[in-house]
Structure 1
Amino acid sequence: MLNKQFMKGLRLKRATVPSFDAYPFDLPSIRTLDELDFHPKVTFFVGENGMGKSTLLEASAVAAGFNPEGGSLNFNFSTYDSHSVLEEYITMIKGVRRPTDGFFLRAETFYNLATMIEELDSAPGPSPRIIDGFGGVSLHEQSHGESFWATFIHRFRGNGIYSLDEPEAALSPMRQLAMLSRIHDLVCEGSQFIIATHSPILLAYPDAKIVEFTDEGAQVTTLEETSHYQIMKQFFDDKDRMLHHLFNE
């Protein structure tokens, strides 16, 4: 199965890193990184804020040819240059297959992407409207969650490589469950996903690799072993006790 995936993994070019005492190389997940293998279907990056999961996802997406602020491989714009230099020190290990579609979806810069689509569509010319590939309705004229969902439903066409950075940020729990179903449909159509997330719902996808980023580095784990799952389970198993401790500390 491994030889059928688009991206087999990534490798940090450690010998070229200028210093492991400076950002982003001082992050534990990067400082201890050598090579990371991807699952042929879905690979999740999970961890607390500041552990480097989104930084590594962004670097892998840019190294694969995507615009740092998101979009397809054809998008090339910059609203604010805030991405790290990590992609310059990352080698993507490609498989034998080549995708016919791809998208880098970032919650943080999705507004910038929506604005760029409107600007490109407003320019004169015979080309079809870009927004028609996103459902035909301006992304700015929908709620944040609905515009996210429209992108995921309409723009992701299958047989593609998709990098998603915290896609649950704009989605309700019900939408996250629907997203699981859509991910599965796209996987069955030959797609591969790399997702940075805080959502235990998304992490429940059954045929996936979960990599948790901690102070000790990045380790492969299971849904039930992630701190996100354990905290949520403790809360709903005995929320009154947890709230009592929180309010009385």
Structure 2
Amino acid sequence: MFLKRVELQHELIPTYKKYPFSIPSIKNLHQLNFDNNVTFFVGENGSGKSTLLEAIADKCGFNTAGGGRNNYYNVPFSNSSLGEFIRLSWLPKVTDGFFLRAESFYNFATHIDEIGAEDIRVYNAYGGSSLHEQSHGESFLSLFLNRFRGKSIYLLDEPEAALSPQRQLSFLKIIHDLASEGNSQFIIATHSPILLGYPDATIFSFDEGTISEVEFEETDHYKITRYFLENRERFLREIFGD
């Protein structure tokens, strides 16, 4: 692991009435310790998990629209509103890594094409061809397989967005291969019960107004998915009111 701790500098916050400090999990954050090289953030939309992940990416110097430290392009509303209020503690500090933001991945792929127009070798880090010439799922896996390497930190916001269940399993293998070498760290915001099933990972829940560590089987993602698969007809009758 490289990133050991995230601290919210409350003394710098002008008001808790405005976003993002109005989000309960952010407002109540003091410090979050990372004791595992694979960590997941879970919670409902709006719970603050992506907001904190984006702030960490900003503090790492990564493009908050997606990319690493050397990817310079602009996407409206991609700036972090929390980054300047957090402090990161490293041991040791790393500068290599990547921030994947699923919702703006199209813009990142366009950025790579612009660079590739001047130097085709750029595509070597993305499977040898334009990310736009691959399916959404293929482009994500090309990124993971070719761009990700050791001694780096990877911050991924809902990587399952473009991955089928089978490809999510392939992604788990990629995480395992990199993390087991001991020189890659992953922090992943996700809704996927498949990804959350990664063995021995730390899972932080952003629900209930605080950030707290939970077990895989305690997550709503696991409980709801299991209940649905085991009781599909009953579950559907309940939500349809039949």
**Residues 1:121 and 2:110 aligned together:** no
Q: Distance in 1 between matches of 2:62 and 2:35?
A: 20
Of 205, 221, 224, 1:231 maps to 224
For residues 97 and 208 of structure 1, do their structure 2 counterparts lie closer, same or farther at Cα, with a shift above 3 Å needed?
same
> For residue 243 of structure 1, what is the aligned residue in structure 2?
236
Q: Distance in 1 between matches of 2:173 and 2:137?
A: 17
Shift in Å, 1:97: 5.1
Q: Classify the secondary structure of the residue corresponding to 1:36.
A: strand
Q: Classify the secondary structure of the residue corresponding to 1:104.
A: strand
Shift in Å, 1:128: 5.6
Letter in 1 for 2:122: I
**Residues 1:102 and 2:103 aligned together:** no
Q: CA RMSD in A?
A: 1.4
Q: Classify the secondary structure of the residue corresponding to 2:110.
A: helix
**Residues 1:70 and 2:71 aligned together:** no
> For residue 56 of structure 1, what is the aligned residue in structure 2?
52
Q: Classify the secondary structure of the residue corresponding to 1:129.
A: helix
Runs (4+) of structure 1 moved beyond 2 Å?
81-84, 96-99
Q: Distance in 1 between matches of 2:158 and 2:178?
A: 18
**Residues 1:163 and 2:155 aligned together:** yes
Q: Classify the secondary structure of the residue corresponding to 1:84.
A: coil
Letter in 2 for 1:207: D
Shift in Å, 1:240: 0.7
Given that 1:8 and 1:95 are in contact with CA atoms closer than 8 Å, whether structure 2 keeps it comes out as yes
Q: Distance in 2 between matches of 1:240 and 1:39?
A: 41
Letter in 2 for 1:139: L
> For residue 112 of structure 1, what is the aligned residue in structure 2?
107
Deviations 1:134-186 (A, max 9, x none): 11111001111110111011110122111000000100111111111110100
Q: Classify the secondary structure of the residue corresponding to 1:147.
A: helix
Given that 1:8 and 1:40 are in contact with CA atoms closer than 8 Å, whether structure 2 keeps it comes out as no
Identity %: 52
Q: Distance in 2 between matches of 1:134 and 1:84?
A: 26
Shift in Å, 1:40: 3.3
Q: Distance in 2 between matches of 1:215 and 1:114?
A: 36
Given that 1:8 and 1:37 are in contact with CA atoms closer than 8 Å, whether structure 2 keeps it comes out as yes
Letter in 2 for 1:163: L
Return 5+ residue gaps in structure 2 as ranges.
none
> For residue 214 of structure 2, what is the aligned residue in structure 1?
221
Letter in 2 for 1:111: Y
Q: Distance in 1 between matches of 2:94 and 2:158?
A: 25
Q: Distance in 2 between matches of 1:93 and 1:155?
A: 25
Shift in Å, 1:82: 3.3
**Residues 1:173 and 2:165 aligned together:** yes
Deviations 1:199-247 (A, max 9, x none): 1111111121100011321110010001111111111110111100111
Q: TM-score, normalised by structure 2?
A: 0.95
Q: Classify the secondary structure of the residue corresponding to 2:206.
A: strand
Q: Distance in 2 between matches of 1:113 and 1:235?
A: 36
Q: How many aligned positions are there? A: 241
